[in-house]
Each structure stands twice: as structure tokens, then as C-alpha cells.
Chains A and B, each alone.
Chain A
């Protein structure tokens, strides 16, 4: 297991490097730069700006220094400054030595902020939305799938599978406007747009005001985003559970007189969770990218706006930062999924 994790971590670094390389290449291949305007800036201004942000250097040098600034931990004795060029995500002081890591650089568009500032202010909000949606997906999807399988061909089954088809057929951009109008405008149950989380965030993303103030904003977007995923989970849970309850060991458990509840919970459910855990990786990816639309739809000040506008603005550091961040999320999620397998199914060995 240990060796497997080390190997996967190395592989992760390779993936991140490839992703950063492709993004960097594509980004610079797009015509126009961060300082092109409708009305062209004076050549001298552009030259100074390029020099300041090191855009006048050779592309490979820019790439290498970017990777150096972001990936390689810096160990120095100089304390952090307030310079925008010098904003690291991790600043740990051990004795007189500073351990500093992940400098994504300054944003070209919002001059007074760094990419790390954007991460610090806006990422927690996207994380709150994503987490709520994931919770909703699991809380609705899992019980519905189990119910549908245990009461196959009853009303519950049809209800569950009806919702499953509904969930996969109605994406956020459909559900979003309908929710906003029905529950926000017509019924006035929830505020149609906005976000109510208040900093400081506990553990980096949990709002300090968990309560109605927070949930009245969060409920609609989270359901709109999570419903599709809950459908996927419900279908898969039902399908695997139906297969599992026909296995021999379930018959054995019944034969030795275990109560039905114990059979389902201890034997059937645990073993049907493996495919469900598999799907959590891709599901997480869908939720992460889904947060973009949801945020635009419900006017939530998360990362979505920055990602879309950074590309049109050629805000190189923001593009690189957001894509790398999401890539890291996805690979880490997949790694966690693989590790969870091993716990759920001891037959799976990774050496």
C-alpha cells in the first residue's frame, strides 16, 4: 500500500507537470497578450510592463521559473514582504528559517491582487458550494438507490428511477433559472442571487455563520448542482445492490438466520459501495466544473467568474493557477478513491 501511494504521488507530479506544460503552451499560443487593448498602449509602456512581469524572457525560461515558483518549496531566512511578486500560499516559520511554497504570481488584470489572494477570497466559496452539492448528491442519491433496490418494482423503485432520469436530463443551466424564478422570484422562499457565507472560514472553507443566514443562499444552488450527481449515485447504488443481494454469501447470511437489517447493512451494502466509490472521482470532476455555471447562474462570488474572464483577459497567472488547482483536485480525488477501494475490498492489492 505504501509503495502504491508513493508511486501514485510520483505519477501525480508527472500529470500536473504535463497539464501545466499544455496549459502554458496553449495560453501563449493564443494571439494577443494581457496588455493588448482596443486602443493600443504605447510601445514603451508595453515594454516596461512586459519587463516587470518577465514576459520579455524566452518562453521556456518563463515556464521554468513558473514551475520553480509554484512547485519547489523555498527555504530562506528572509521574512515575507508585501510585494505582489512575493506572495506565497504556504508561509511557515521554523526558528529563524522560513519555509515558503506555491507562489502563483500577481494577477495581470486586478493589479492589486495576486492569484493567491483570489484563491484565499474566492476559493472557499466555491468549496462551500461544491461540498454542499456533494453532500446533497450523497444524501439524496444513496438512500434513494438503496430503497429502489430493496423494494424493486414498487412505487419507490419507479420514483427513484424517475428522479434518476430527471437528474441526468436536467443540467444546472436548466434547473438554475427555474429555481431562481420559482423559489426566488415567485414564491420568495430564498433570495434569488448571492451568497451568505461570512469569513473568517474555519478549516479554510467552513463559514463562521453556519445557520439560516448561510443556508438560505446555499440551498438552491447546491440542489441545482447536486441533483444530477445524486441521480448518478442512485442508479449505480440500485444496480450494484441488486446484483449483490443475489450473491451466495447473502444467501448464506440469510440461511444462518441473521436479521435482514444486518444482512443489508453489513454484507450487501458494504460490498456494493465499491462501484459507487469509483464514480465519486468523475462525479467530483463534474461538480467542480459545474460550480462555474452555478456560480454564474446564482451570482455567487466564487472562482467561476475568474476562470472564464481570465482566459478572455489573457491573465496568464490566473489561467495557470486555476487550471493547476483543479487538476490537483481531480488527481487527489482519484487517488483518494483508489485508496478507499483497498479499505472496502481487501482483495484489491496494489503491489
Chain B
């Protein structure tokens, strides 16, 4: 990855080809390797499938995810009693619900479908936040070096020692209970309204963003430190390129590969963080369906109605599998030397 730039210059120059085309071919190569990897293709297709299901959830789900039909509490379709035979003696059968209904009579199938929206939102926004903060922080630290670097990295060290999940829990408890106490008209009020409109997702993003950037900052700094000594960066300095230009045009494109790979592999972590937060009741606001919240709701009745917990748990596991497969494949494709590590 590191030598991509100078090579593409010489080859591109002698072959008379535009530079951009040569750089594109690196990613094209990587894509070629990616689609030869069966697990990665499976993961990618699963993710596309899950995205489609989440997007078209209103068309697929027959029933509403929030309407409570109290007479249909805990009903199950017939096939569920075959999968979970312990339920046979007492289960109330109703084939209207493809996966059964929960403890207040909401359709499990549509709740799982809509729950995908929350997990996917976290899967895509989480990396975005951590990339933006981490890359900016890490590249400033690595690029300027010396004392700036020292101070900035010590700060990250201290934050690292703070158990991140505990920090997120504390921050979310803070946000969630502050919401009800702020006056209209302040910026904080606008944020709380935004959070309400997003069903509680906004503060989950903030919580994840507050801690996830640390790893990214360290990685970026390390990469920038090694790249900034290269000849092509020196050359850019000599012809008078500005710091910003060197950073964005010369250094960042060369370190993008490892950053993307690390972020993709971090996605399952974000998904499970959200599920965990919703599980302990600090995540999305009810009735927004989230797999974590569904697992927690069903967990109290797992002995009687296992379908209410195990089915959303399976949905969560499949999604995490898909992202792990894709992440592994991306890593092998973008940097074949790393195959099988990490």
C-alpha cells in the first residue's frame, strides 16, 4: 500500500496513462480478489439482503410493529412449536403471525424486520463517526509530531484506560435523563428533539462516537508517522504544497486501506454495543424495535416462550456474521500480506 503513489507515477508517466486510472486499478484489483472470496461474497450478499429487508420493511411486514393486540399475547404459529417442542403443552396457536407475537401482542416478524434498521444504522454511522474524529485527531498528531503528538497521545492513553462500555453507559444515562429537564430553545433541546425523532438512536451514535475514535486515532497516527518520511511527501514539501494538501492528497489516500479494513472489522462491535445498550434499557426508546431490546424483553420469559428471545438473537448473529465475513474478505483483498492475521 505504502508505495502505491510513487509507482503509479512512474508507470503512469511512462505508459502515458492518466494517473487516476492507475490508482483506480489498485482498488479494482482488490475488488477482483474480493469477489473471488466465497465467504466475503456470502457476507456481502447477506448485508445487501438485510439492507433491502430493512428498507422495504413497510412492504414486507404485514402487521404493524407497534400495535398491541392484547388478545394475541404470546401466540405462536404451528411451526414454532415444532422447533421449540417444550412449548407444545401450553402454546396458543395462531398462524396469523409468521414468527409469533410478543408479550403485549406485537408481531415479532415485523419487529425483527424493523429492528434491522437500528442495527444497520449503527453499522454505517458508527464507523463514519469514528473515522472522521479518529482520522483528524490521529493525522494531526502524527503529522506534526513532537510535543503536539506527545500530549495528544497521552490524552488518548488516559481515555483508553477508561472502560469504554462503562463510559458509554454513564454518558447515555446522562443524556437520557437530561432530556426531560432542558428548556425549549437551547441547542441541547434541539438535540434532544433530534434524538426523539430518531427513536433514541442519536445519543447511541454520540456514545459510540465518543469512544470508538481512540483506536482509529492511534492507527492513523502510526500510519501517518511512517508515510510522512517517504520521498514523495518530501517531494511535495519541496514544491511548496501546503500541509493540508499533503495530508489530504498524499498521505490519506495511502493509509486508507488499513483504516477501511479496521473499521469494517469493528462494525460487529458497534452492532453488539447497540444491542447491549438496548438490552440494559439505555438504547433506543420504545416502541422502536431493536434486537437488543427484544432479547431483553423476551429474556424474562425465555423458559416459556423461547422464540421471543432466540429469533431476534439469531437475526443479530446473522448480521454480525455477515459483517465479519465481509471484513475478513476486505482485509485479504486490500492487503494480501495480512491474510489470516488480526
- Report which A residues bind B (CB closer than 8 A): 14-15, 18-19, 22-23, 26-27, 29-32, 161, 165, 168-171, 173-174, 176-178, 180-181, 184-186, 192, 235-236, 238-239, 242, 285, 288-289, 292-293, 296-297, 307-308, 311-312, 319, 323, 326-327, 330-331, 334
Chain B residue numbers with a CB within 8 Å of A169 are: 268, 317, 320-321, 324
* B interface residues, Cβ below 8 angstroms from A: 84-86, 158, 161-166, 169-171, 173-174, 177-178, 180-181, 268, 272, 275-276, 279-281, 292, 295, 298-299, 302-303, 306, 309-310, 313-314, 316-317, 320-321, 324-325, 328, 340-342
| Also in contact, A174 and B316, with CB within 8 A (given A239-B341, A308-B280) | yes
Q: How far is the CA of A326 from the CA of B163 in the complex (A)?
A: 7
Q: Is the CB of B170 within 8 A of A185?
A: no
Q: Are A19 and B324 in contact (CB under 8 A)?
A: no
Q: Is the CB of B178 within 8 A of A30?
A: yes
Say how far B92's CB is from chain A's closest CB, in angstroms.
19
Contact across chains for B163 and A177 when beta carbons are under 8 A apart: no
A312 with B317: CB separation less than 8 A: no
User: Which residues of A lie under 8 Å from residue B298 when comparing CB positions?
Assistant: 177
Pair A327/B324 contact, Cβ less than 8 Å: no
CA distance A181 to B161 in the complex (A): 36
Chain B residues with Cβ under 8 A from A285's Cβ?
A: 163-164
User: Do the beta carbons of B162 and A22 come within 8 Å of each other?
Assistant: yes
The answer to whether B177 and A32 have CB atoms under 8 Å apart is yes
Q: Chain A's nearest CB lies how many Å from the CB of B172?
A: 9
Consensus secondary structure, chain B interface: helix
Question: In the assembled complex, which residues on chain B have CB atoms less than 8 Å from the CB atom of A239?
Answer: 340-342
B324 to A15, Cβ gap below 8 A? Answer: no
Compute how far the CA of A337 lies from the CA of B310 in the bound complex, rounded to whole angstroms.
Answer: 37
- Asked if A165 meets B171 with Cβ closer than 8 Å, knowing A174-B313, A181-B302, the reply is no
Q: Are A289 and B340 in contact (CB under 8 A)?
A: no
Whether the Cβ atoms of A186 and B86 lie closer than 8 Å is yes
Q: A165 near B279 (CB under 8 angstroms)?
A: no
**Which residues of A are found within 8 Å of B162, using beta-carbon distances?**
18-19, 22, 327
- Across the interface, which residues of A come within 8 angstroms of B86, CB to CB? 185-186
Q: How far is the CB of A53 from chain B (nearest CB, A)?
A: 20
Complex CA–CA separation, A278 to B127 (angstroms): 24
A297 to B321, CA, bound (A): 22
- Say yes or no: B166 contacts A289, CB within 8 Å: yes
CB distance from A144 to the nearest CB of B (A): 14
Choose among A177, A319, A327 the residue with the greatest number of B CB atoms under 10 Å from its CB.
A177
Q: Which residues of B contact A26 (CB under 8 A)?
A: 170-171, 174
Beyond A308-B280, A311-B170, whether A177 also contacts B342 by CB under 8 A is: no
Are B158's CB and A168's CB within 8 A? no
Bound Cα distance from A334 to B161, whole angstroms: 9
Q: Is the CB of B316 within 8 A of A30?
A: no
- How far, in angstroms, from A192 to B181 measured CA to CA in the complex? 41
Quick check: B268 and A289 within 8 Å, CB to CB? no
Chain A residues, Cβ within 8 Å of B84: 181, 186
Question: A327 vs B159: C-alpha distance in the bound complex, in angstroms?
Answer: 11
From known contacts A26-B171, A26-B174, infer whether A19 and B161 are also in contact, taking CB-CB under 8 Å: yes
Are A30 and B163 closer than 8 Å at their CB atoms? Answer: no
Q: Is the CB of B158 within 8 A of A174?
A: no
Report yes or no: A177 in contact with B295, Cβ–Cβ below 8 A. yes
Q: How far does the Cβ of B169 sit from chain A's closest Cβ, in whole Å?
A: 7
Of the candidates A27, A31, A184, A289, the one whose C-beta lies within 8 Å of that of B165 is: A289
Closest 7 CB pairs of A and B: A239-B341, A177-B309, A174-B313, A169-B320, A31-B181, A181-B306, A289-B165
Q: How far is the CB of A24 from chain B (nearest CB, A)?
A: 11
Q: Which residues of A contact B341 (CB under 8 A)?
A: 235-236, 239
30 A-B pairs in the complex with CB atoms less than 8 angstroms apart? A15-B158, A15-B161, A18-B158, A19-B162, A26-B174, A30-B174, A32-B177, A165-B321, A169-B317, A171-B272, A171-B316, A173-B313, A174-B313, A174-B314, A177-B306, A177-B309, A177-B310, A180-B302, A181-B303, A181-B309, A184-B303, A192-B303, A289-B163, A308-B280, A308-B281, A311-B170, A319-B170, A326-B163, A327-B161, A327-B162
